Every structure is written in C-alpha cells, then in structure tokens.
Structure 1
C-alpha cells in the first residue's frame, strides 16, 4: 500500500491530489447517507387500509387541530363586565331633575293643592318637555310617556317632593348591586313594586313607578376591550398541536380515515412529487465535511508529503467508519432498540490520535457524530437522531481523553474500558433527563450496548493500528516505544558490539529528548532515533574512540584519507543497515542527516599538517543536512555530548561556552538551512543542553578512603 501511494503521489501534485481525494470523500459521504434522507413514499388512498405502519418523518404543526383548539379556548373565555357605580348617581340625578322641573311647571301654586277641576294645559306640558330637552342630555321626553308628565304636572309641590324622595330611594336601593342588561327588566319591576307600597295619590304613584322603571338601567357594563384581551391571551396560551417526529400516523391494517389522510397530506406523504430539499441539504452537509478537512490540512504546517499521507489515512478511516455504520443497519431488521449505541464510536478518534494527533481525532469525532445522527435515525428518513449524535461525540471525546498516555497497546484496552463506563453514564443520564418510560430490560440493554461499544472500539483500534502503521509507514507513539525495547536485534547489536557507542547514544538521547520537548518537536522520536543513529559504527566499532578501551587507536597507523573514509562512512552504513531491517524512514533520515555536511576537522587538519593539501569538500560528510527539527537537535546533541565528554574537569562555564560555540559553528556553516528551526529555538536548545549536561557531568566528592589509597601508592 505504501508503494502504491508513493507511485500516485509522484503522478499528482499535492493541490490536485488534495482536491481529488476530498472530492471522493464528499461524494462517498453523499452516497452513503443518500438513502437516509430520501423521502419515503406510501401507497395511501382515502378510506383504504394501510399496507404498513406509517410514522411521521418530521415534526410539524397540525394547523387544523391547532385552529380548533384556539376556537375552543376562545369560546371558553367569559365576557368581561365592569361595575359602574356612577351610573346610579347619574340616574338618581336625572329623576331628581324631572321632579324639579315638574314642580316648576305644575298646575298648583306654592304650597297649595291643585283645585278640583284644575286641568293641565297643553302649554304646561310643552313647557316642561322643552325645559327637559334643553337642560337634560338624555332624550327624556322620547322615553317617558306624556301621560306620566301630565300626572306630575297635576300633582302638588309637596306630593312631588315626597314622590321624588321615594323614587330616588328605591332606585338607589335597586342599583346598589351590579346587574347586567338581561336583569334590568326584573330590577325595574322590583323598584316599581316597592314604590307601589307607599301611600300617595294613584296618579302620582303611577308616575313615580314609571320614572323608577325609566331610571333603573344596567350598571354592570360589558367591556369589549378586556374581553378581547382575554380571548387573545387564551388563544396565545394554546400550544400548537404537533405531529411529532416518529409518531405513528396509522398502524398497519387500520383504515385511513379523513383525519389520518389529512395528517398524511400535511406531512407530504400522499403525493408522488419529489422534493429536492433533502438532497440539497445533504449536498451542503457533504460540502461542509470537505471544507472542514480542507481548511485543517491547509493551515497545518507540515511537509506536503506528510500532509498527503495523513489526508489519505484520515479519509480511509472516516469512510471506514461510515461504512461500518451502514453495515450496522442490518441489525435494525431485528428491531433492536437504538442499535446506534452498539457502534464502536471511539474507534476512529482513538486510531487517529494514536497515529497522528489529538486535533485530527477531534475533527473526525465531530464529523462522524453528525453522520451518525442521519444514519441511525430510527428508520425515519429525512430526520436526525440527536441522542445518537451526542452519544457518538461524547464517546469519541472520552476515547481521546482516556488515551492521553498511548505508549503501550495495553493502554488502548484500558481506554476502551473507560469509554464503556463513560458511555453507560451518558446513556443513563440522557434517559433519566428525558424521563423516558423504559423498562429494566431496556436499561440493561443500554448498559450492554455501552460496554460493547467501548470494548469493541479498543479491540478494533488494537487490531487496525498495526495494519495502518505498516501500510502507511506511520511511526506512532506505540511503535516508537516498541522500537526502544533493548531486546530489539539492532539495539542488541550495538550493545554487544559497540558498548561505548550504545552509551553515547543513550546520553545523546537524553539531550535530544529534552531539547525537542522544549521547542515543541517530537521528543520520543528524537530519543528512539538516537538509539539507532550510530548503528553504522557497529561495522567497524574499534575505529571510534568511545569503543577503544585499551587505549589503542588504529587511526594512529592510518593515513588521514583512510581514516576519513571510515569515519564518514558510518552515516551511510547506518542508513543502509536500517533500510535492510525495514526500519522507519524517520530513523533512516536521522542516521543520514545527524552529521549533515559538516567538516571532519580532526583528519582535515591532520592531512594539512602532513602537507597533503586536502580538498575541504572531500572531508565533509555526504549529508543531506538536517531536514527536520528532530534531526537538527540530534545533530547538535551528538556533537555536544561527545565534546563535553572529552573535556577535563568540565564546569558550567566551560560547558556553556562549548555548547554556544558548537551551535554557532553549525549555524555559520549553514547546517540548519534545510529545516524550519528558528534562532529563538536554538537559544532554547542552548539553555536546555547546558542544564542537562550540568546534571550529567556535575563534580563529585573525593572520599577520604580513596585519598589514603592514593597516598599509599605514591609512597
């Protein structure tokens, strides 16, 4: 697979390759999700029998039932009436005015009873009516018979005064309590009946009773504004009647009556017309997936070759996850409740965190959660399952979180167990919040699904990780830990054949790891790479000073050119040995690049001393120069460790000057020109290297016993 990818990438530049692969991902996502958004069609006719159970694919408002509920609520609102006590005062004032005008125009003179035979003339009646019309706002003359006015005009002043008091008292008594229009007639008769009980002339009594009937009117007045406000409030408080997503509209074998058919029409399930809205939405969703991946890889500051490799890896894992979701649909035929909870949702995020980084894992966890909400939609096309989406997202985040230390494969299994527990807590929390009516069997099934999902995620991750690592040449953290095992054949070879080189490599590894972690590079890669960077020295171990125990140096008996060839060849020999053992490309690069194109000064100046006039280029390593931060740090750490180890009585000041001179020499020699290490990071390396070397080569106390032995030997 790795060779196949390499051939393709040679044919295509990165930009074209990126868009081609992202287009494939977007198209594949569209096709895998297509069946889950395509609207269902049913053979439904009015008054026919349903061939299958039909559920609502979405949540809508039932307009007809909602309007009926609003009308019912409005009809139940009682009319608002407002008691107006001032009406009684107005009516009694009006009655008082009528009696007063009657006193002014009646037939009797002051304090005299009318004489027998003295009649009310037409002029008197006309004067009274004109006076009432001018001074009283209400149309009194049109509401009261002329006979009543004649009776008032025929009465004496004292009789009118007494009748006025009685009439006003009865009107006040009747109108002191609120009553509506429909009760007014009864109240009028009640007032008249009370007046009839008093002693006065029959004509005056009849007049007083007529005036009482006229004066008594409703005092509990209908308030249309308040009534309308209450009706509006009642209508507003009515919750719209909704047809919920997943609600059964009609059961299989039941009659499709008018009400059911109306609901099917509202849901668009009675028409054969195709709606393109779901497909447009799915297209936008697929485009969103492509854009998220595009912007992530566009802003990622790594080499194009690495981007290309990671893009292929992310695409395959994402589409693999979608494919497994589609395969899980087969279980739905068994009508298992919420089969999405069984899916290993943490698998893809755990794989990507193990092989790439946390950020990529988070992105894929988010994207697959969105896709799961469409795929596991409980067989309701065109809908989304929010609970499953949150479950996938939560499970993926738990997998990333609990895989914080992924240097051993056993940690993957442990992370899977933690994911199972997190899944279970999440499911129970959601079901309890929603107050779902689940049985004990349902809760047990949820718990089993949660455990299976977490454990299956870790098992699949453990199984697929070696496949992807070998197929794509991914050097994961766990792979690095495995390669750091001292029992590895190449490390055993260094330890047994070149023990000094092995010790030197371990010391360089300590320096390089500390330096890389300080500048944000891969410290573990630098450490393990250091273990193998000098593997080429095992070909001629005794030609390197760290392996010369007896003090015999074979270079003392060789010419500078031969010594040069032996020393320089160890970088190429090491790379060849690593390739032969199919070691990671990063290790091969470190072996070739850890000396860059530096000058082999010792033998170059030795050749000069012998008068050979050597060519400087021939005494330089073949390179290439370091191309990664890790290789650059290792190249400096290798030289620094060897130089400090050769110092006599190293002090902090000496170490600081030496480190500074080595880094400055490499910088002036252009050894860092092909990697993206900065001057600020080089300053950080100086500080870290000095601190680490001071800890390694600190001064030790000379014990008295050893001093006595030395004195004896001298004596």
Structure 2
C-alpha cells in the first residue's frame, strides 16, 4: 500500500491525489447512507387494508387536526361582558326628563286628581311628543305608546313627582346588579312589579310601570374587542397537532380510512414519487465529511508524502467503519431493540490514535458518530438517531482516553475493557434520563451489547493494527516498543558481536530521547532508532574504537584511504541490513543520515600528514544530510557522546564547550539545511545534552583503600 501511494503521488500532484481520495470517501459515504435517507412509499388506496405496519418517517404538523383544535379552542371561549353603571344613571335621567316634560304640558296643574271627564287633547299630546323628540338624546316617542303619555298628562304635578321618585328608585334597584340582554325582559317585569306595590292612581301607576319597563335595559354589555383578544389568545395557546417520527399511522391488517389516508398523503407516502430533498441533503452531508478531512490535512505541517499516506489510511478506516455499521444494521431484521449498540465504535479511534495521533482519531470519532445517527435510524428512512450518535461519540472518546498509554498490545485489550465499562454506564444513564420503561431482558441486552462493543473494539484493533502498520509502513508507538526488545535478532547481533557499539548506542539513545522530547520531536522514535543506527559496525566491529577492548587499533597498520572506506561504509551497510530485515524506513533513514555529509577529520588530516594531498570531498560521508528533527538530534548526540566519552577528565565546563563546538560546527557545515530544526531548538539541545551528560559523567568520590590502611597499622 505504501508503494502504491508513492507511485500514485509520482504520477499525480498531491492536491489532485488528495481530492481523488476525498471524492472516493464522499461517494462511499453517500452510497452507504443512501438507503437510510430514501423515503419509503406505499401504493395505498382509500378503504383498502394495509399490507404492513406503516410508521411516520418524519415529524410533521397535521394541519387539519390542528385547525380543528384551534376552532374548538375558539368556540370554548366565553363572550366577554362589561358592566357599565353609567347606563343606570342615563336611564334614570331619561325617565326623570319624561316626568318633567309631562309636568310642563299636563292639563291639571297644581294638586288634586285629574278629571276623567276631560280627556287629554291631541294638541297637548303632540306638544309633549314634540318636546321629547327635540330636547332629549333618545327619541322615546317611538318606544312609549301614546296612552302612557296621555296618562302622564292627565296627572297632577304632585302625582307626577311622586311617580317619578318611585319609578327612579325601582329602576335603580333593579339595575344595581349587572345583567345581560337575555335577562332584560325579566328585569323589566321585576321593576314593574315593584312599582305595582305602591299606592298610585290606576292610570299613573300603569304609566309608571310602562316607563319602568322602558327604562330597564341591559347594563352588562358584550365587549367584542376583549372577546376577540381572548379567542386569539386561546387559539395561539393551542399546540399544533403533530404526526411524530416513528408514530404508527396504520397497523398491518387495519383499514385505511379517510383520516389515515389523509395522514399518509401529508407524509408523502401515498405514491411512488420520491422527493429529491433527502438526496440533496445527503450529498451536502457527504461533502461536509470531505471538507472536514480536507481542512485538517491542509493545516497539517508534515511532508506531502506522509500526508498522502495518512489520508489513504484515514479514508480506508472510515469506509471500513461505515461498512461495519451497515453490516451491523442489517441485524435489525431480528427486531432486537437498539442493536446498533453492539457496533465496535471505539475501533477506528483506537486504530488512528495508535498509528497517527489523537487529533485525527477525534475527527474520525465525530464523523463516525454522525454517520451512525443516519444508519441506525430504527428503520425510519430520513430520520436520525441522536441516542446512538451520542453513544458512538462517547465510546470513541473513551477509547481515545483509555488508550493514553499505548506502548504494548496488552494496553489495547485493557482499553477495550474500560470502554465496555464506559459504554455500560453511558447506556444506563441515558435510559434513566429518559425514564424508559424497559424490561429486565432489555437491560440485559443493553449490558451485553455495551460489553461486546468495547471488547470487540480492542480485538479488531489488535488484529488490524499489524496489517495497517505493515501495509502503510506506519511506525506506531507499540511497534517501536516491540522493536526495542533486546531479543530482536539485530539487537542480539550487535550486543554479542559489538558490545561496545551497543553500549554507545544506548548512551546515544538516552541523549537523543531527552533532546527530542525537549524540542517536541518523537523521543521514542529517536531512542529506538539509536539502538539500530550503528548496526553496520557489526560487519567489522574491531575497526571501531568502542569495541577495541585490548587497546590494539587495526587502523595503525592501514593507510588512511582504507580506514576511511571502512569507517564510512558502516552507514550504508547498516542501512542495507535494516532493509534486509524489513525494519521501518525511519530506521533506514537514521542509519544513512546520522553522519550526514560530515568530514572524517581524523583520517583526512592523517592523509595530509602523510603528504597524500587528499580531497576533502573524498573524506566526507555520502549522506544524505538529516531531513527530520529526530535524525538531526541523533547525529549531534552520536558525536557528542563519543567525544565526551573520550575525554580524560570531563567537567561541566568542558562538556558545555564541547557540545557548543560540535553543534556550531554542524551548523556551519550546513548539516541542518535539509531539516526544519531551528536555532532556538538547537539552543535547547545544548542545554539538555549538557544536563544529561553531566549526570552520566559526574565526578565520583575517591574512597580510601581500607585494607591498605589496616596493613599500615599492623606494621
């Protein structure tokens, strides 16, 4: 796979290659999610029997039932009436005016009884009616009959005054409480009955009773504005009637009546015509997945070759995860409640964290959770399952969190057990929050699904990790830890055949790891790479000073050119051995680059002393120069450790000067020109190397020879 990616990148520019891979991811997500957004349609007919149970694929408002509820709420609002006490005052004032006008036009002024022999003339009646029509706000002549006016005109002033007071009192008595229009007739008769109890002459009593009936009107008046306001408030308070997502519209075998058919039609389930909106939405969703991955890789400051490799790896794992979701979703045919919880949601995050980093694992966790909400939608196309999405998100985060120490394969299994526990707690908490009424069997299934999900995640991660590491040449933390095992054939070879070189490699590894961690590089890669960086010395171990235990140096008997070739060849020979044993390319690069193109000064100047006039280029390592921070740090650590070890009496000041001179020499020689290490990071390296070397080569206390002292005493 690594070779294929490299070949594709050689043929295509990185940008074009990236968009090809992203397009494949987008198309794969679209195709895998297609069936879950495509709305179901049914050839239903009115008054036919349903062939299957039909559920609502979405939540919509039932406009017809909602309108019926609004009409019902409006009809239940009671009309608003307002009591108006001023009506009583107005009506009594009107009655008082009628009596006063009658006094002005009556035919028997003064006291006494009217004469029944002399009827009221038509002129008098007309004059009274004209006056009442002209001087009062209400034309009472249309509501009061002429006989009543004649009876008033026939009464004396004293009788009119008495009748007026009685009539006004009784009208006020009746109208002191509010009443509506439908109660007015009863109130009119009530007022007349009250007046009938007084001692007035018959004609004046009859007239007063008629005037009382006229005066009494409704004083609790209908208020249309307040009524409309209350109706509007009641209508607004009505919640729309909804057809909820997942709601059963009609059960299998039941009749599709008008109401059911109307609901199916509102949901778009009565024809085979498919709306394009869900597919447009899915296309946008797939595009968003592509853009999320694109923006992450665009801001990632690594080489384009590594970006391309990681992009293909992320894409394969994401598509694999969605495919497994699709396979798990097919188990829904068994009608097991929330079978999606069995899916190993922590697998992809754990794989990516082990091989790449936490940030990529988090991004894929979120994308995976979003896709799960569509795939595990409880057989309701177009719906989303928020519960499963939260579960997948939580499970993935738990996998990332519990895999914080991923240096051994056993840590993956331990992380899977922790994920199972986290899944179990999350599911139960979610169920309790929703106050779900589940049976003991349902809770047992949830527990089994949660535990299987975590364990399956770790098992799949353990199984797939070597496959991806081998196929993509990924050097994960666990792989590095495995390669650091002294039982590896090459490490055993260097330990037995060149023990001095092995000790030197371990010392360099300590320095390089401390330096890399101080500048933000991969310390573990530097440490394990150091174990193998001088493996080429096992070809001729005794030609390197750290393995010359007897003090005999073979180079004393060789010419400078031969010695040069032997020393320089160990870098290339080491790289070839690492390739033969199929070790990671990073180790091969460290073996080839840890000397860069530095000058082999000792033999160069030895050749000069012999008068050979050597070329400086002939005594330089072939390189290439370090291209990564880790290799640059190792190259400095290798020289520093060898130089300090050769010092007779290392002191902190001497070590500091030596470290500074070596780093300055490498910098001036251009050995760091091909890597992105900075001057500031080199200053940090100086400080870290000095502290580490001072700890290794510290001064020791010279203890006295106690046996020698005892012998002196005995003598």
Q: In which range does the TM-score fall when normalised by the shorter chain?
A: over 0.9
Matched, 1:673 2:678: no
Contact 1:511 1:692 in 2 (8 A): yes
Matched, 1:102 2:105: no
Query: How do 1:108-507 residues align onto structure 2 when only pairs under 5 Å count?
Result: 108-111=108-111, 114=114, 117=117, 119-507=119-507
Offset at 1:198? 0.3
What CA distance in whole angstroms lies between the structure 1 residues aligned with 2:587 and 2:479?
A: 12
Partner of 2:85 in structure 1?
85
Q: Deviations over 1:436-472 (max 9, x none)?
A: 2221211111111111111100110011111111111
What CA distance in whole angstroms lies between the structure 2 residues aligned with 1:505 and 1:660?
A: 21
What CA distance in whole angstroms lies between the structure 2 residues aligned with 1:271 and 1:326?
A: 28
Contact 1:59 1:242 in 2 (8 A): yes
- SS in structure 2 at match of 1:595: coil
Partner of 2:577 in structure 1?
577
> Does 639-648 or 219-228 show the bigger shift?
639-648
What CA distance in whole angstroms lies between the structure 2 residues aligned with 1:131 and 1:656?
A: 129
Gap change, CA 1:154 and 1:585, over 3 Å in 2: same
> Does 372-381 or 628-637 show the bigger shift?
372-381
Offset at 1:121? 3.8
What CA distance in whole angstroms lies between the structure 1 residues aligned with 2:260 and 2:322?
A: 37
- SS in structure 1 at match of 2:182: helix
Q: Deviations over 1:332-360 (max 9, x none)?
A: 22111111111111111111111111111
What CA distance in whole angstroms lies between the structure 2 residues aligned with 1:181 and 1:446?
A: 68
TM-score (norm 2): 0.96
Gap change, CA 1:537 and 1:216, over 3 Å in 2: same
What CA distance in whole angstroms lies between the structure 1 residues aligned with 2:137 and 2:708?
A: 138
Partner of 1:703 in structure 2?
703
Q: Deviations over 1:313-336 (max 9, x none)?
A: 111111111111222233122111
What CA distance in whole angstroms lies between the structure 2 residues aligned with 1:553 and 1:586?
A: 33
Q: Deviations over 1:34-81 (max 9, x none)?
A: 222222222211111111111111111111111111111111111111
Offset at 1:108? 3.5
- SS in structure 1 at match of 2:268: coil
> Does 68-77 or 556-565 show the bigger shift?
556-565
What CA distance in whole angstroms lies between the structure 1 residues aligned with 2:257 and 2:52?
A: 15
- SS in structure 1 at match of 2:622: coil
Contact 2:6 2:305 in 1 (8 A): no
Count of aligned pairs: 713
Offset at 1:131? 3.6
Partner of 2:63 in structure 1?
63
What CA distance in whole angstroms lies between the structure 2 residues aligned with 1:135 and 1:654?
A: 128
What CA distance in whole angstroms lies between the structure 2 residues aligned with 1:354 and 1:250?
A: 50
Offset at 1:169? 1.3
Flag structure 1 segments of 5+ consecutive residues without an equivalent. Answer: none
Partner of 2:654 in structure 1?
654
What CA distance in whole angstroms lies between the structure 2 residues aligned with 1:112 and 1:106?
A: 13
- SS in structure 2 at match of 1:412: helix
- SS in structure 2 at match of 1:77: coil
Contact 2:628 2:676 in 1 (8 A): yes
Partner of 2:643 in structure 1?
643
Contact 1:349 1:364 in 2 (8 A): yes
What CA distance in whole angstroms lies between the structure 1 residues aligned with 2:547 and 2:708?
A: 32
Partner of 1:621 in structure 2?
621
Contact 2:5 2:308 in 1 (8 A): no
Contact 1:578 1:588 in 2 (8 A): yes
Q: Deviations over 1:11-51 (max 9, x none)?
A: 33322221222211211221122222222222211111111
What CA distance in whole angstroms lies between the structure 1 residues aligned with 2:486 and 2:133?
A: 124
What CA distance in whole angstroms lies between the structure 2 residues aligned with 1:104 and 1:93?
A: 17
Gap change, CA 1:710 and 1:310, over 3 Å in 2: farther
What CA distance in whole angstroms lies between the structure 2 residues aligned with 1:708 and 1:591?
A: 50
Gap change, CA 1:689 and 1:229, over 3 Å in 2: same
What CA distance in whole angstroms lies between the structure 2 residues aligned with 1:20 and 1:83?
A: 80
Offset at 1:408? 0.9
Partner of 1:26 in structure 2?
26
> Does 581-590 or 203-212 show the bigger shift?
203-212
Gap change, CA 1:228 and 1:552, over 3 Å in 2: same
TM-score (norm 1): 0.96
Contact 2:41 2:268 in 1 (8 A): no
Contact 1:575 1:592 in 2 (8 A): yes
Contact 1:278 1:382 in 2 (8 A): yes
What CA distance in whole angstroms lies between the structure 1 residues aligned with 2:74 and 2:711?
A: 116
Contact 2:2 2:309 in 1 (8 A): no
What CA distance in whole angstroms lies between the structure 2 residues aligned with 1:656 and 1:151?
A: 136
Gap change, CA 1:302 and 1:281, over 3 Å in 2: same
Partner of 2:606 in structure 1?
606
What CA distance in whole angstroms lies between the structure 1 residues aligned with 2:501 and 2:135?
A: 129
What CA distance in whole angstroms lies between the structure 1 residues aligned with 2:197 and 2:42?
A: 83
Contact 2:43 2:272 in 1 (8 A): no
Gap change, CA 1:109 and 1:577, over 3 Å in 2: same
Gap change, CA 1:508 and 1:134, over 3 Å in 2: farther
Offset at 1:650? 2.8
What CA distance in whole angstroms lies between the structure 2 residues aligned with 1:73 and 1:649?
A: 100
Gap change, CA 1:662 and 1:124, over 3 Å in 2: farther
Offset at 1:194? 0.7
Gap change, CA 1:124 and 1:491, over 3 Å in 2: same
Partner of 2:43 in structure 1?
43
What CA distance in whole angstroms lies between the structure 2 residues aligned with 1:206 and 1:369?
A: 92
What CA distance in whole angstroms lies between the structure 2 residues aligned with 1:693 and 1:266?
A: 80
Offset at 1:705? 4.4
What CA distance in whole angstroms lies between the structure 2 residues aligned with 1:686 and 1:696?
A: 15
What CA distance in whole angstroms lies between the structure 1 residues aligned with 2:68 and 2:388?
A: 36
What CA distance in whole angstroms lies between the structure 2 residues aligned with 1:132 and 1:681?
A: 113
What CA distance in whole angstroms lies between the structure 2 residues aligned with 1:439 and 1:241?
A: 31
Q: What is the RMSD of the two structures over their aligned residues, measured on CA atoms?
A: 2.1
What CA distance in whole angstroms lies between the structure 1 residues aligned with 2:116 and 2:308?
A: 130
What CA distance in whole angstroms lies between the structure 1 residues aligned with 2:414 and 2:515?
A: 31
Offset at 1:383? 1.8
> Does 370-379 or 110-119 show the bigger shift?
110-119
Offset at 1:110? 4.5
Partner of 2:596 in structure 1?
596
Partner of 1:549 in structure 2?
549
Contact 1:99 1:164 in 2 (8 A): yes
Flag structure 2 segments of 5+ consecutive residues without an equivalent. Answer: none
What CA distance in whole angstroms lies between the structure 1 residues aligned with 2:116 and 2:226?
A: 58
